[in-house]
Amino acid sequence: MLVDFHSHTLESDGTLAPAELAALMRKRGVEVFSVTDHDSLGAYGKFEGQEGAATIVSGIELNTTYRGNEVHVLGYGFPLDAVEIGTAIAENRRQRELRAQRMVDQLSAAGYALDLASVRAEAGYSRSSLGRPHVARALIRAGHVATLEAAFRDLLTPGKPGYVPSLYMRPQDAVALIARAGGVAVLAHPGRLRDEDIIDELVAAGLAGLEVFYATHEPAQVAHYRNIAARHGLVMTAGADFHDPGHNPRGVGMEVERADVQPFLDLVLAAA
């Protein structure tokens, strides 16, 4: 079964319009998918005739921070006008703006002339979801670096002049608000966690699922997180985390056994 519960568009840090992403899903034969833009629901309602290609489940990726670490919480199946989700989006957008301004200030002080307007321009109409990729693209356009990889490696990672740690809501709060909104909260890409102890804390806060099947998870990681999901009674999800055709050569869609994701589908379609 081909599914994809983790993808991004121009509404956050992806490079495709929502209809273009939906067309890719259709071409790949994806049966069910979600657009999970960072702190944005702007893609929904913009599929322009592609809706019939697959079942589309409402989704979002909320950025959170905890103990100095960035943790991403996925939410599914909630009403698009849920007040709790809207409040969370607004607060994270405010933090994104403050962070982007600090990055610009630090880079300019280090000799890499840049302004917030140029970063916003790279974000286009999604500028309310500003992030490091937009700063990186602005650096390229200004001629300071040649590639995204160079921008991150030399300027935007810890210890480099443009790095600013993120400061968002706690993941426990994100999990709880998704549940209050009637949605299903899932921990994204657990293989990227620095400290897996957080999973226990999130389960206590109401976490419902784990992204066991992820584009860069090795088979041993899949087995590991499958066991964790079983131990905590969590549903399993699958996501390619697609952003851009050039930087995600694997494309969209994850092939999984239907039985592995059916409990999630039952839960999220019931919530919807």
**181 and 258 co-located in one domain:** yes
* 31 in a structural domain: yes
CA dist 242 → 13, 94, 105, 167, 245 (Å): 10, 25, 30, 24, 8
Number of H helices, E strands in the chain: 9, 9
Whether residues 42 and 76 share a domain: the answer is: yes
Is residue 164 a part of any domain in this protein?
Answer: no
Same domain assignment for residues 244 and 176: yes
**What does the alpha-carbon distance between residue 129 and residue 126 come to, in Å, rounded to a whole number?**
6
Q: Same structural domain for residues 83 and 179?
A: yes
pLDDT of 93: 87
Q: Same domain, yes or no, for 202 and 176?
A: yes
Q: What is the structure's pLDDT at 53?
A: 63
Indicate if 146 and 195 belong to the same structural domain: no
Residue 161 resides in a domain: no
Same domain assignment for residues 37 and 116: no
Residues 180 and 267 in one domain: yes
Are both 70 and 110 inside the same structural domain? no
Roughly how many angstroms between the first and final C-alpha of the chain, as a whole number?
A: 21
Residues 132, 111 within the same domain: yes
> Tens of pLDDT along 191-218?
999 889 999 999 999 999 999 999 999 9
Number of domains present in the structure of the chain: 2
Does any domain span residue 17? yes
Domain that holds residue 144: 99-156
Residue 136, both tokens: 């990186």
Look at residue 142 in the predicted model and tell me its pLDDT: 96
- What is the domain-level CATH number for residue 21? 3.20.20.140
Q: Cα(96)–Cα(79) distance, rounded to whole angstroms?
A: 24
Positive/negative CA dihedral, 37, 180, 80, 255: positive
- pTM of the full structure: 0.86
Q: Please indicate, yes or no, whether residues 183 and 256 belong to a single structural domain of this protein.
A: yes
Look at residues 83, 87, 46, 78 and name the one whose alpha carbon lies nearest to residue 60: 78
CB-based contact 76:59 (threshold 8 Å): yes
pLDDT tens, per residue, the chain with 272 residues: 999 999 999 998 898 999 999 999 999 999 999 999 999 999 998 887 665 668 899 999 999 999 878 899 999 999 999 999 999 999 888 888 899 999 999 999 999 999 999 999 988 755 557 889 899 999 999 999 999 999 999 999 999 999 998 888 999 999 999 999 999 999 999 999 988 999 999 999 999 999 999 999 999 999 999 999 999 999 999 999 999 998 888 899 999 999 999 999 999 987 65
